[in-house]
Amino acid sequence: MRRAYTIGIDYGTNSVRALVVDCADGREVGTAVFHYPSGYQGILLDPKDPHLARQNPADYVEGLERSVTGALAAAAKAGAFDARDVIGIGVDTTGSTPIPVDAHCRPLALDPRWQSNLAAHAWLWKDHTGAAEAAAITATARQHAPQYLAPIGGTYSSEWLWSKVWKCLKAAPDVFAAAESWVELADYVPAVLAGHTSPRQIVRGVCPAGHKALYSRAWGGLPAKEFLARLDPKLAALRERMYDEAWPADRPAGALCAEWAGKLGLPGGIPIAMGSFDAHYGAVGAGVTSGTLVKIIGTSTCDCAVVANREKIADVPGICGIVDGSIMPGYYGIEAGQSAVGDILAWWVDEICLGNDALHVELSREAAGVGPGQSGLLALDWNNGNRTILVDPRLTGLLLGQTLHTTRAEVYRALIEATAFGARAIVERMREYGVPVERVVCCGGIAEKNDVFMQVYADVIGHPMLIAGSAQTPALGSAIAAAVTAGEAKGGHATFEQAQRKMSSLKEKRFTPRPAAKAVYDELYAMYRELHDSFGGVPGAKADFPSLMKRLLALRERETAGKA
């Protein structure tokens, strides 16, 4: 049988990676990375506003050609590979990263008239300039359209589409007026590959729409004109120029146009999978399925789960988003996350200890020698707020229990434990509302490199921590989506589930809960929840702090007895 390959293209925050994958077994036969040349590490900044983060759409277009041709060249160099055997392309990107485009589907920033205006560029996911707009959207929805907030956990984020578009309308009305429409990066790249020349041609994906743009079939698509008019009549007018429907990944976003087929050296007309977010296709690449939670552990954490959409699933309070058809077709996609995980450890090592990667290794090694409860420390993992389950970006960190002998490694471990407790709170919340979690698969640099971290997670969450086989799960997930979109007849696959079975894998290494450690962590987790609920403002929280401090000490004494 003839070989069949798909290409997954993963647009990250600083670079874009293309990966050529064998559809038969998921073998990664070639890859290439292109670093965005504009700004600081690919990000356009404003020295006057630390909340601003934009990207140059020209980098996306150049990166598309350079990464794909590079990956194809690498595949050809590595062995018997023929680009004519590529049967499809998939794309995942950061998000919400909306781009204002003109009537020809061209980003305004590519027009010399707008090039120097930061508002005309892509509004990167971590741009927080629309914080006031986000708060106003939440307040307006609470009063007039609470149904919009239920599936997103109750709070609209400054990182999401309408906050950014509205902020643009206020801060750069000329850019807003010049934009025919706004397109998420996840929808824009497939549109480029398909050669679309009008925003109306773009096939919008349900992931960006449902998770970031308040889209739902339940209320007829995007938020009602009346609602948007309450924010600004011009937003209501823009709604006409956005889209009526968004689609799961069970249909293509388009077919590769002749121009780009030529540029890339690929067969024209091959299908382009529906664009999605990096975390979602990352979950697909890691093997997400009903009962399997995928944790993408990096600077922050994204937790993805799916529930077959024939089951009715309730809104889960505090969970960022539950969207019918997102992540994988045929499921409700459920997205949760922690605002800072690796970032908290990086804060401790970089900012406080003035260390580097070597210090992470050293502190991890030392932390491995500290047993659960032995340091007497307990922390809250809120240095960057709490995304799930409290949905409060303003919360801050807390460290409790330090003495004159507390070491940096003990604090390091306490911070790891705090993030593990935060992770457990998410798992428990999901279960409480009927999302089954029977298996946990982790991916990301920390999962691959930090054994102490992973063992703490296994002990705290009480599940084996499995590790995804690929180090590039988002690109692999995009390639899987492309294989499904191409279909079995072309050498791809009939379903996502079938494609995952063939193309995704787990590492042999896994971390299993140790019963004694888990028992101590069960006690510490109960204390964490006391702090969590009281400082997090959970109604009815028990505020028994004095005894908490003492119980923590008693625990420490018990756990260190005879171990000094």
Which residue ranges make up the site for a second copy (CB under 8 A)?
Answer: 340, 343-344, 346-347, 351-354, 376, 383-384, 394-408, 411, 534-537, 541, 543, 545-547, 549-550, 552-553
Toward a second copy, which CB reaches closer, 526 or 543?
Answer: 543
- Distance (Å, whole) CA 156 – CA 139: 9
Toward a second copy, which CB reaches closer, 103 or 139?
Answer: 139
Toward a second copy, which CB reaches closer, 60 or 412?
Answer: 412
Q: To the nearest whole angstrom, how small is the minimum distance from the Cβ of residue 201 to a second copy?
A: 41
- Distance (Å, whole) CA 284 – CA 281: 5
Q: To the nearest whole angstrom, how small is the minimum distance from the Cβ of residue 47 to a second copy?
A: 11
Closest to 122 in 3D by CA, of 178, 55, 61: 55
Q: To the nearest whole angstrom, how small is the minimum distance from the Cβ of residue 371 to a second copy?
A: 18
Q: To the nearest whole angstrom, how small is the minimum distance from the Cβ of residue 549 to a second copy?
A: 5
Are the CB atoms for 341 and 379 separated by under 8 Å?
no
Query: Beta strand pairing status for 276-277 and 378-380?
Result: unpaired
Are the CB atoms for 335 and 390 separated by under 8 Å?
no
Q: Which residues contact 524 (CB under 8 A, 6 or more apart)?
A: 372, 373, 378, 417, 421, 555
**Residue with tokens 């824009």, as numbered in its chain:** 188
Q: To the nearest whole angstrom, how small is the minimum distance from the Cβ of residue 384 to a second copy?
A: 5
Q: To the nearest whole angstrom, how small is the minimum distance from the Cβ of residue 386 to a second copy?
A: 11
Residues linked to residue 277 through DSSP beta bridges, in sequence order: 93
Encode 479-513: b = buried (16+ Cβ within 10 Å), e = exposed: bbbbbbbbeeebbbbeebeebbebbbbebeeebeb
Toward a second copy, which CB reaches closer, 150 or 400?
Answer: 400
From first CA to last CA, the distance across the chain in angstroms is: 64
Residues linked to residue 532 through DSSP beta bridges, in sequence order: none
Toward a second copy, which CB reaches closer, 32 or 344?
Answer: 344
Toward a second copy, which CB reaches closer, 413 or 463?
Answer: 413
Are the CB atoms for 470 and 504 separated by under 8 Å?
yes
Are the CB atoms for 89 and 24 separated by under 8 Å?
no
Q: To the nearest whole angstrom, how small is the minimum distance from the Cβ of residue 157 to a second copy?
A: 17
Structural tokens at position 260: 């780009």
Toward a second copy, which CB reaches closer, 117 or 299?
Answer: 299
Q: What are phi and psi of 371, to 5 degrees?
A: -80, 165
CA distances (Å), 267 to each of 66, 421, 553, in order? Answer: 17, 49, 67
Toward a second copy, which CB reaches closer, 371 or 536?
Answer: 536
Q: To the nearest whole angstrom, how small is the minimum distance from the Cβ of residue 297 to a second copy?
A: 16
Q: Is 84 left (phi over 0), alpha (psi -120 to 50) or beta?
A: alpha
Closest to 93 in 3D by CA, of 228, 222, 193: 193
Toward a second copy, which CB reaches closer, 261 or 398?
Answer: 398
Q: To the nearest whole angstrom, how small is the minimum distance from the Cβ of residue 142 to a second copy?
A: 19
Which of the 8 DSSP states describes residue 273?
Answer: P
Closest to 64 in 3D by CA, of 102, 115, 9, 129: 9
Q: To the nearest whole angstrom, how small is the minimum distance from the Cβ of residue 376 to a second copy?
A: 6
**Signed CA dihedral, 65, 67, 68, 69: sign only:** positive
Residues linked to residue 416 through DSSP beta bridges, in sequence order: none
Toward a second copy, which CB reaches closer, 207 or 418?
Answer: 418
- Distance (Å, whole) CA 394 – CA 299: 18
192: enclosing H helix or E strand: helix 185-194
Toward a second copy, which CB reaches closer, 76 or 400?
Answer: 400
Q: Which residues contact 46 (CB under 8 A, 6 or more apart)?
A: 52, 118
Q: To the nearest whole angstrom, how small is the minimum distance from the Cβ of residue 353 to a second copy?
A: 7
Q: To the nearest whole angstrom, how small is the minimum distance from the Cβ of residue 129 to a second copy?
A: 15
Are the CB atoms for 166 and 239 separated by under 8 Å?
no
Toward a second copy, which CB reaches closer, 139 or 516?
Answer: 139
- Distance (Å, whole) CA 529 – CA 247: 39
Q: To the nearest whole angstrom, how small is the minimum distance from the Cβ of residue 404 to a second copy?
A: 5
Toward a second copy, which CB reaches closer, 347 or 433?
Answer: 347
